Structure 1
């Protein structure tokens, strides 16, 4: 095999990888984790002030028995009637819709 043929193969492979990556991001891009957290916080603020919040910046797989979707996991804490309430949530990384909300005790 000639060096020229090898380099052409490497260049073709890299070009194909870049095109596939760009196309897949356009088909199903993720919303930023900060935007998802801000949307969830806005909904919680409608009921009462928030004391703290967090979100994992990397999406993970969420299975609900029927399908698997990428989600961001996060949490919200607030004081209601003098008592601390803590919630954990999972929000769809593509749409930002909360798919799971659990009140911690």
Structure 2
């Protein structure tokens, strides 16, 4: 096997790895899936009256780490009163990062 073919093989392998890594790291879950994740988590503690989510992800910095996130909200009745919660879901992993 010649050096040219060996170097070409390494180059093609590195280029392929770069493309795969970039395509996987930039993949975002849908806003609908992010809302479902949040609703499922809230449903563990009771019923939900309403929910919403911003359809466009935004960039935030939390604990010195940059995230692409979806913001949304949930409303439910607690002790006869309507209570509103807002949440932030990581747009890449679906992890709920914050609930207020």
1:71 to 2:69 alignment: yes
1:52 to 2:47 alignment: no
> Would you say how many aligned residue pairs link Structure 1 and Structure 2?
83
5+ residue gaps, structure 2 = 1-18
| TM-score normalised by the chain length of structure 1 | 0.71
Query: C-alpha root-mean-square deviation of aligned residues, in Å?
Result: 1.9
| TM-score normalised by the chain length of structure 2 | 0.74
Q: How does 1:24-63 map to 2 (within 5 A)?
A: 24-63=22-61
- Give 3-state SS (helix, strand or coil) of 2:94's partner: coil
- Give 3-state SS (helix, strand or coil) of 1:95's partner: coil
Structure 1 equivalent of residue 98 of structure 2:
100
5+ residue gaps, structure 1 = 1-20
Where relative contact order (Cα < 8 A, 6+ residues apart) is larger, the structure is 2
Post-superposition, which runs of at least 4 consecutive aligned residues in structure 1 deviate over 4 A? none
- Give 3-state SS (helix, strand or coil) of 1:26's partner: helix
